[in-house]
A and B are shown apart, each in its own frame.
Chain A
Amino acid sequence: MSLIHEVFAKAKNENRAALIGYLPAGFPTAAGAVECITAMVEGGVDIVEIGLPYSDPVMDGPTIQAAVDIALAGGTKISTVLDTVRQVSALGVPTLVMSYWNPIERFGVEKFAADFKSVGGAGVITADLTPEEAGSWITATDSQDVDRVFLVALSSTDARIAKVADITSGFVYAGAVMGVTGARSSVSDQVRGLVERTKAHTDLPVAVGLGVSTPEQAHEIAQYADGVIVGSAFVNAINAGGADAARELAKSLASGLARV
């Protein structure tokens, strides 16, 4: 069983959803990101998702764009990201990277999978890689035993959900809103339907992200999904109060994950 599955299984035994926290590598600095992620894990984050900063992040809203700009301006390279993965996975949490496709392709698809595995990485979420274009990535991640996470969206047909679920490992990432990342005040009612439609096609855990920011939202999602993914809200917290604020947000989110 992969480390990711162990964590989902443990959460299930505890009758709660897993908490997945996102932060871009290099934000606010390379060391600062590790410090903040450590605090997030102390606060209750079960699985860490490290963003690989990219110049053209079309799936990210203003909060994460600004954080990524800071990371890139600070000189964050792919080597920085891999070093961040090494330090975070040493904490004992499953560590994923979320990336757009071009940096991976440019780095070398097989080399990226191998280097990522060698620093202890558990899985990679690819934001803009469609199943149709994923052939070389499937081969590389299979040979390195790295989980590959793809997204399903509210607009996905059942046929597409099946196609995505078929090549996904680790967990399926269900996009909660029709849109880009960013903290939003309400989580769509359709999300539950998306999670249920996805579960009809796979036994993999399904985690919900995009626009989840409050303990109330996390609580609502925890009733039907296996994981809750929070990104922009952590960036906002760190902008306001650094690592301590990130720890407090994680605690507050973690308190809402129990199934009732």
Chain B
Amino acid sequence: MTALNDANLADLLFPDAGGHFGQFGGRFVPEALMAALDELDAAFRASKTDPVFIAQLADLQKNYTGRPSPITVATRFSQHAGGATILLKREDLNHTGSHKINNVLGQALLTQRMGKKRVIAETGAGQHGVATATAAALLGLECVVYMGEEDTKRQALNVARMRLLGAEVVPVTIGSRTLKDAINEAMRDWVANVDTTHYLLGTVAGPAPFPEMVRDFHRIIGDESRVEMLERFGQLPDAVVACVGGGSNAIGIFTAFLGDENVRLFGFEAGGDGVETGRHAATISGGAVGVLHGTRSYVLQDEDGQTVESHSISAGLDYPGVGPEHAFLSDIGRAEYRPVTDTEAMNALKLLCETEGIIPAIETAHALHGAIQVGRELGEGALILVNCSGRGDKDVETAARWFAMNGENA
């Protein structure tokens, strides 16, 4: 139970003019991008008070995405959680199958307002790429998605979906061939084509204003949840739980509860084979303060400041950085971040399938394991709200291989 003083809360909700959350955030980019970031920042600030933009976005959220998303009481799953009750905020039921569409629709509308006709995006699990391809089709924008070659293999279904939606998918064959390298390629494209192109970044990382802007487009997750908790359950949850790669779904559900000091916030990072093995993507648990992809945050890096490759069974969490607001939340103690191993996540995935009839994304499964852990700590009667951030159709092959190799009770 960490008290958040008013100054810290204001820092979180309103980063300074340079886009800093405490010591984190900011802008570390080639000068060529500064004009585009300023343009984006101005369009974003103007949109916040523009009734036309607000109405357009609200209409899409309701009639295209299908918001509000429901909260499902996971009764049978909760039997494994030490007497706590686990509630699932069903972002997996959104159009395109994850929370990613919330941010994408907002940024796609901003792209139109800036008069740009082309969007580029990076994607790891493919959920952000699918959402971006979807919005581009809807609004008639040209769309190029950069995806690590390794990820195009483990998320082949989403590659096919993006192509069906008319997007060009570019497999990235440099570096670790995962999300980090896809972001490098997207940034190079943006530097070269910044006049015509908007970089539709998919997480709460990158240079300002991305962390704040992407957060604001996702905070509807927590805003809806908070209202429904009070109306339907008559209380706020004791804990809010989400998985954290870059951290967009976590920030989305955390933000509404930041000022509720009795609501504990937990982010679960990808522990891969275990943080102690060095083969993981748990950036806050196992990284150091540094600069990556335009922002200062925690980074997996060596003593020379070279980025260390991350490892996770989850393509969407397989990233050696994390959003700067999460780094700040961790430093001030408002949110707690813990690693979850591949094995723990996959067991939680299977448990949710078998107890609730819901196939979650492997990313989300990290949060589900975390919810069980937190439930056992908080005990009888605790209410735990989990962001069920995505559905697992894309992961069916990976899961089948995993359980064939590791057995039922790996």
Contact = CB atoms under 8 A, between A and B. Distances in A.
Interface string B117-143: 000000000000000000000000000
Contacts of B291: 101-102, 105, 128
Interface in A25-57: 54-57
A58 interface: yes
Contact of A56 (B27, B292, B303): B292
Given A106-B301, A129-B28, A59 B34 contact: no
Interface stretch (A9-17, A156-164, A223-231): A156-164
A186 interface: no
B256 interface: no
A180 to B, nearest CB: 5
A179 B290 contact: no
B118 to A, nearest CB: 14
B307 A55 contact: yes
A197 interface: no
Contacts of A56: 175, 180, 184, 292-293, 307
A128 B174 contact: no
Given A129-B28, A156-B31, A59 B304 contact: no
Contacts of A105: 290-291, 305
B235 to A, nearest CB: 43
B34 A155 contact: yes
A252 B393 CA distance: 59
A105 B30 CA distance: 17
A123 interface: no
Nearest to A173: B31
Contacts of A179: 32, 188, 191-193
Q: Is the interface of B mostly helix, strand, loop or mixed?
A: mixed
Contact of B191 (A59, A107, A164): A59
Contacts of B191: 58-59, 178-180
Contacts of A107: 304-305
Interface centre among A65, A102, A103, A127 (most CB of B within 10 A): A102
Nearest to A99: B305
A106 B292 CA distance: 12
Contacts of B292: 56, 102
A154 B31 CA distance: 9
A55 B307 CA distance: 6
A54 to B, nearest CB: 7
A130 B187 contact: no
B258 interface: no
Interface in B280-298: 288, 290-294
A58 B303 CA distance: 20
Given A150-B31, A152-B31, A61 B303 contact: no
Contacts of A72: 306
Contacts of A127: 30
B43 interface: no
A119 interface: no
B34 A160 contact: yes
A244 B302 CA distance: 35
B27 A133 contact: yes
A85 to B, nearest CB: 15
A132 interface: yes
A175 B299 CA distance: 29
A238 interface: no
Contact of A54 (B26, B33, B306): B306
A104 B306 CA distance: 11
A103 B193 CA distance: 27
Interface string B260-298: 000000000000000000000000000010111110000
B265 to A, nearest CB: 28
B31 A151 contact: yes
A156 B35 contact: yes
A78 interface: yes
Interface string B191-229: 111110000000000000000000000000000000000
B192 A130 contact: no
Nearest to A126: B28
Contact of B31 (A65, A102, A106, A160): A160
Given A56-B293, A157-B35, A106 B174 contact: no
Nearest to A133: B26
A77 interface: yes
A48 B361 CA distance: 51
Contacts of B307: 55-56, 102
A70 interface: no
B192 A180 contact: yes
B23 to A, nearest CB: 11
A54 B168 CA distance: 28
Interface centre among B29, B34, B294, B304 (most CB of A within 10 A): B304
Contacts of B33: 155
B32 A55 contact: no
A77 B28 contact: no
B165 interface: no
B35 A160 contact: yes
A160 B191 CA distance: 17
B30 A128 contact: yes
A78 B305 CA distance: 9
B18 interface: yes
Nearest to A129: B28
A61 B32 CA distance: 15
B399 interface: no
A150 B36 CA distance: 18
27 contacts: A58-B30, A72-B306, A102-B291, A103-B305, A103-B306, A105-B290, A106-B304, A128-B294, A129-B28, A130-B27, A130-B28, A132-B27, A133-B27, A151-B30, A151-B32, A152-B31, A153-B30, A153-B31, A156-B34, A157-B35, A160-B31, A160-B34, A164-B31, A178-B32, A178-B192, A178-B193, A179-B192
Q: Which 3 A-B pairs have the closest CB atoms?
A: A106-B305, A179-B192, A103-B305
